[in-house]
């Protein structure tokens, strides 16, 4: 099948490359010419595990290309997929890129195949495909016959997006008629045996929010319990949550073997969720509920707890350090999670801001995100970026761990960490390896504040 993908961001590019590797002919439309050139040379403009290898292969096989010409992409295309950004700005979801994509598709719809599905891949609030995309495409295509509509949410997590695409747990297809659902089902036919859910377009739209909101809720729940634990002597939230994880309704015992589901990795305390999805999706669905006169009170709290979680961490530091003025603070981890160079909504940004206000001198290390952080913080914030963990550790007075990159696990063996306060914002390190260890959800204040 031929598919035009509008937008070559994380979702568009990974989806396009994935579909091309299944044998489909993919043309990805992107406005930024530098990105197009990079992509066509086999290099994604962002880091994603295995993406470049797969991109190079599908280009070589002739199944994939990027272009600025939507007419080229829509020519004879069976499906056009809208995979543009839907940021949350000024209190609501910003649909301007969606509208523009719908307009461009409408104008070029005469070039598409006899039966053509316009499918929204971007995360959009319920009703957007039918009430926003459809009328625009119909207007600009002058009601061309044979155009149908669909919504196919993505469930790709950054860092594992290529693996997630190639090994789907489910495919959700929202369609407005049987031709649309058949064409979209055919697209995923190579994934024989995978659960394909055919639902209404609005169901598909809301399923994506329900999924992300559920995981965000688990995280904020864990953080709320964690904050409680830190106020009770002798308690460690990790032991508390472990007792929860072992409930057989969460981690069943099958044939004598304990099964630990992926869900457990979202029941862990930390400095809060970031990234381009959870924060904006929770806020967008809250706003959608308000507009419908249906307040989403649980999700409002989920968001509130998350926004406040970086302050909980700063309080933990301030409880133990007499003053942060001129203290050299080393931050390990800047990306919103390990395995990516993405810093969007990363808790590190707020923490750097707060520490700078306190007069601390910030040193930072991230295996991938130093450059990205420098680009958004400079020149307002002065941060000294280190190429190696070792270099950072030898120049700071205390350490904050903000992203659980695997390479940070082993810093406990270094002598330099034995005399330095360590504040673990992800409860990632082994607390017994560090004489001066402090972590969220752990009631282990020393009673006396460190003087730096
Ligand atoms: C998330 C979802 O997991 C994907 O299923 C979804 O497709 C994607 O959003 C999307 O909407 O496109 P992603 O944002 O890449 O994927 O990252 P996650 O691995 O889900 O982590 C999100 C955030 O939660 C990270 O900042 C992570 O550090 C944080 N987190 C995770 C916690 O703070 N605590 C936890 O216990 C687990």
Alpha-carbon gap, residue 84 to 347, rounded angstroms? 24
Q: Ligand 1: distance of its center to the CA of 70 in Å?
A: 32
Average pLDDT (108-135) is 98
Element of type H or E holding 220:
helix 201-229
Q: How confident is the model at residue 71 (pLDDT cuts 50, 70, 90)?
A: very high
Catalytic residue among 28, 229, 277, 417: 277
Which residue, judged by its Cα, is nearest atom 19 of ligand 1? 157
Cα–Cα distance, 443 to 439 (Å, whole number): 8
Question: Could you give the residue ranges of the DSSP H alpha helices within 268-386?
Answer: 278-291, 297-320, 347-357, 370-377
**Is 70 exceeded by the pLDDT of residue 191?**
yes
**Is there a catalytic annotation at residue 277?**
yes
Ligand 1: does its nearest atom lie under 6 Å from the Cβ of 35?
no
Q: Give dist(CA 281, CA 397) in Å, integer.
A: 38
The residue whose C-alpha atom lies closest to atom 37 belonging to ligand 1 is 266
Mean pLDDT of 194-204: 98
Q: Is 215 in the pocket of ligand 1 (CB under 6 A)?
A: yes
User: What is the distance of C-alpha 334 from the center of its chain?
Assistant: 14
Per-residue pLDDT, 187:
98
Give percent of the chain above pLDDT 90.
95
Average pLDDT estimate for 308-324: 96
Does ligand 1 come within 6 angstroms of the Cβ of 336? Answer: yes
> Hey, whose CA ends up nearest to atom 18 of ligand 1?
157
| Gap from CA of 158 to ligand 1 centroid (Å) | 8
Could you count the other beta carbons within 10 Å of the beta carbon of residue 235? 16
Atom of ligand 1 nearest to the CA of 274: 26
Instruction: Confirm if 418 and 440 have CB atoms less than 8 A apart.
Output: no
Residue 193 CB partners (closer than 8 Å, separation 6+): none
End-to-end Cα distance, the chain: 64
Judge whether 169 and 155 are in contact, CB under 8 Å: yes
**What value does the mean pLDDT take over residues 311-328?**
96
Task: Give which of 258, 231, 291, 275 is closest to 440, Cα–Cα.
Answer: 231
3-state secondary structure of 36: helix
Neighbour count for residue 130 (Cβ, 10 Å):
18
Nearest protein CA to atom 29 of ligand 1, as residue: 273
Question: CA distances (Å), 341 to each of 162, 165, 346, in order?
Answer: 15, 19, 11
Interval 233-287: pLDDT, tens: 999 999 999 999 999 999 999 999 999 999 999 999 999 999 999 999 999 999 9
Measured in Å, residue 264 CA sits from the centre of ligand 1 at 13
Strands 361-365 and 2-6: unpaired
Q: Is 158 in the pocket of ligand 1 (CB under 6 A)?
A: yes
For the Cβ of 20 lying below 6 angstroms from any atom of ligand 1, the answer is: no
- Residue 439: helix, strand or coil by DSSP? strand
Average pLDDT over the chain, rounded to whole?
A: 96
pLDDT number for residue 179: 97
Is 124 touching ligand 1 by the criterion CB < 6 Å?
no
Residues 35-64 have a mean pLDDT of: 96
Query: Average pLDDT, stretch 319-324?
Result: 95
Q: For 325-357, what is each residue's pLDDT tens digit?
A: 999 999 999 999 999 999 999 999 999 999 999
pTM check: above 0.85: yes
pLDDT at 447: 65
pLDDT tier at 446, thresholds 50, 70, 90: low
Rg for the chain, CA atoms, rounded: 24
Q: Does the beta carbon of 434 sit less than 6 angstroms from any atom of ligand 1?
A: no
Is pLDDT of 448 > 80?
A: no
Kindly give the distance from the C-alpha atom of residue 417 to the centroid of ligand 1, in angstroms, as a whole number: 30
* Average pLDDT value for residue range 137-150: 98
CB 156 near ligand 1, within 6 Å: yes
Average pLDDT over residues 158-167: 96
- Examine the pLDDT at 29 and tell me if it is beyond 70: yes
* pLDDT band (50, 70, 90) for residue 451: confident
Distance, CA of 129 to CA of 154 (rounded, Å)? 15
């Amino acid at each position: 099948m031929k598919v035009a993908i509008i937008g070559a961001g994380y979702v568009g590019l990974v989806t396009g490359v994935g579909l091309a590797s299944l044998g489909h002919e993919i043309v990805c439309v992107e406005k930024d010419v530098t990105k197009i050139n990079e992509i066509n040379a086999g290099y994604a403009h962002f880091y994603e595990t295995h993406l470049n290898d797969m991109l190079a292969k599908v280009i070589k096989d002739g199944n994939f290309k990027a272009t600025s010409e939507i007419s080229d992409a829509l020519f004879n295309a069976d499906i056009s997929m809208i995979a543009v950004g839907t940021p949350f700005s000024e209190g609501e979801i910003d649909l301007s890129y969606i509208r523009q994509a719908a307009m461009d598709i409408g104008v070029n719809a005469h070039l598409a195949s006899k039966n053509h599905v316009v499918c929204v891949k971007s995360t959009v609030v319920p009703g957007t495909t039918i009430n926003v995309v459809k009328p625009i495409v119909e207007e600009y295509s002058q009601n061309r016959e044979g155009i149908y509509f669909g919504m196919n949410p993505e469930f790709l997590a950054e860092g594992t997006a290529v693996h997630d695409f190639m090994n789907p747990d489910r495919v959700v297809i929202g369609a407005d008629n049987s031709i649309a659902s058949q064409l979209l089902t055919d697209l995923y036919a190579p994934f024989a045996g995978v659960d394909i859910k055919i639902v209404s377009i609005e169901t598909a739209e809301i399923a994506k929010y329900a999924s992300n909101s559920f995981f965000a809720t688990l995280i904020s729940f864990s953080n709320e319990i964690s904050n409680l634990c830190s106020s009770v002597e002798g308690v460690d939230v990790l032991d508390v949550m472990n007792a929860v994880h072992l409930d057989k309704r969460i981690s069943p015992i099958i044939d004598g073997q304990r099964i630990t589901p992926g869900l457990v990795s979202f029941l862990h305390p930390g400095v809060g969720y970031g990234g381009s999805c959870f924060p904006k999706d929770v806020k967008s669905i809250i706003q959608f509920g308000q507009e419908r006169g249906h307040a989403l009170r649980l999700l409002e709290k989920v968001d509130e707890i998350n926004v406040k979680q970086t302050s909980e961490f700063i309080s933990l530091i301030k409880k133990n350090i007499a003053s942060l003025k001129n203290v050299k603070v080393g931050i390990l981890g800047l990306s919103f999670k390990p395995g990516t160079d993405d810093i969007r909504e990363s808790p590190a940004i707020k923490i750097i801001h707060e520490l700078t206000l306190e007069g601390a001198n910030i040193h930072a290390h991230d295996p991938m995100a130093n450059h990205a952080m420098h680009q958004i913080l400079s020149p307002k914030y002065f941060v000294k970026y280190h190429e190696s963990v070792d270099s950072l550790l030898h120049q700071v007075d205390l350490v904050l761990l903000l992203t659980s990159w695997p390479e940070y696990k082993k810093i406990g063996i270094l002598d330099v960490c034995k005399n330095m306060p360590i504040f673990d914002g992800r409860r990632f390190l082994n607390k017994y390896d560090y004489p001066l260890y402090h972590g969220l959800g752990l009631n282990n204040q020393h009673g006396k504040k460190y003087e730096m």
